[in-house]
Amino acid sequence: MFGFEALPAGSNFIFSIQSDNSGLLEKVKNAIKGNQSLGKSKTAEFGQVEIKPIEPITQINSFDTDNEFVLVYAESNLCFFDESGQPTFQPTVEDLGLNAGKIEWAKSQIRTYSYAPWNGQRKTTSMQRHCILKGSVFYVKGASLDESSKYIGHYNSEGLGKVIYNPEFLKGIDISGESKLKINLDKVHSLGIEKGTITTPLSKLLEKKHLDSKIELITSQEIHKYVHHLVPKEYPKLKDVSASQWGNIRSIASREKSLKEIKEKLYDGKNAYLTHGVSFEKCWGKDGSRRLNDFKTIVSKVENLDAFGKEELKADLRIFISKFAAEMAKTYNKQ
């Protein structure tokens, strides 16, 4: 099986249909009203929508520049072809619906986007569209205007090619450059499916994976905090431990299967690595076992960490010890 990526239920979108034939426009309006099925995976109960007419939206006003320049704003994606029939991201002034002027690319801001639209009737994709992305702005010097907006380029029937000339929201206030219009975000209820009881094997597996990813993040954050912030300030003696010592600690932590076994091999058990022999005499036992006590303190603090107030959200101590030792060896690199 494969996964789905879908727009959540409850999403709202606004679209418009335009035509010079008012009779045809009314027929289209009546045909699309009501419940419809859109997109793919309809048999899996995806794509159910309700289409209903709304009041006309207020048109955006244009501002005057005394024929000094024209700002061409892409209200939808724009698709152009050059003289040889190849897609192009460098339209001419005529392509932008203007009779004269020169495009100043340094003052323009465009982004590009390519996609292949899905044809629901033919059950396949159509030819790929190479578009200038909606929201792009062209600065055309020395151009004049006859209308405030129009459709340009290709694939107008698919909604591409709508531009607005000198839209009011691009006009700055005096010399500050700040837009006259403000964006006010409406507070909406959260979309999607409400959280339910986790009962199925799949839901339990996904919950476990989600929990594991949180634990992995907490563990990484703790490693970074101790190696780069707390060790230099509170446990500076650990900076003097050689890379070979940290390598042996990492090896023990990676090899043993449980935290109890790791502690016994490192410092709790008889003949533990850090509490006897050459390692203890030349490193961990020096200065009143300062390094050993610092290391045990760090392990204890991470073990008792109560992240987000939830018992199950704790750093994985086995991974912490292994990666902490590896990072200490790389960061302070004492041979």
CB-CB contact of 136 with 109 (8 Å) = yes
CA dihedral 249, 255, 257, 262 (to 10 degrees): -20
Are residues 73 and 40 both part of a single domain? no
CA atoms within 13 A of residue 155's CA, in its CB half-sphere? 19
Q: Residue 292: exposed, middle, or buried by beta-carbon count in 10 A (0-12, 13-18, 19+)?
A: buried
Are residues 242 and 158 both part of a single domain?
Answer: no
Please report whether residue 12 resides in a domain: yes
Query: pLDDT digits over 204-260, tens only?
Result: 888 889 888 988 898 999 999 999 999 999 999 998 899 999 999 999 998 888 888
Residue 175 lies in a domain: no
Rounded distance between C-alpha atoms, residue 180 and residue 232, angstroms: 51
Residues 46 and 87 in one domain: no
Q: What is the pLDDT along the chain (335 residues), one digit of tens a residue?
A: 567 788 888 889 988 888 888 889 889 989 999 998 888 777 778 889 999 988 877 778 888 888 889 999 999 999 999 999 999 999 999 999 998 899 999 999 999 999 998 887 888 888 899 999 999 999 999 888 878 888 999 999 888 999 999 998 888 766 555 667 777 777 666 555 566 666 788 888 888 898 889 888 989 999 999 999 999 999 999 988 999 999 999 999 988 888 889 999 999 888 889 888 888 888 888 888 899 999 999 999 888 876 545 555 778 888 999 999 999 998 887 54
C-alpha angle 207/257/211, rounded to 5°?
Answer: 15
CA distance 163 to 181: 19
Q: What is the pLDDT of residue 172?
A: 72
229 and 164 in one domain? no
Boundaries of domain holding 5: 1-56
User: Could you give the number of structural domains in the chain?
Assistant: 3
- 325 in the same domain as 228: yes
78 and 162 housed in the same domain: yes
Phi-psi region of 332 (alpha: psi -120 to 50; beta: other; left: phi over 0): alpha
Q: What is the pLDDT of residue 202?
A: 83
CATH label of the domain that carries residue 81:
2.60.40.4350
Q: Of 56, 80, 95, which one is at a domain's C-terminal end?
A: 56
Q: What is the pLDDT of residues 77-109, one digit of tens each?
A: 999 999 999 999 999 999 999 988 999 999 999
What is the per-residue pLDDT for 94?
93
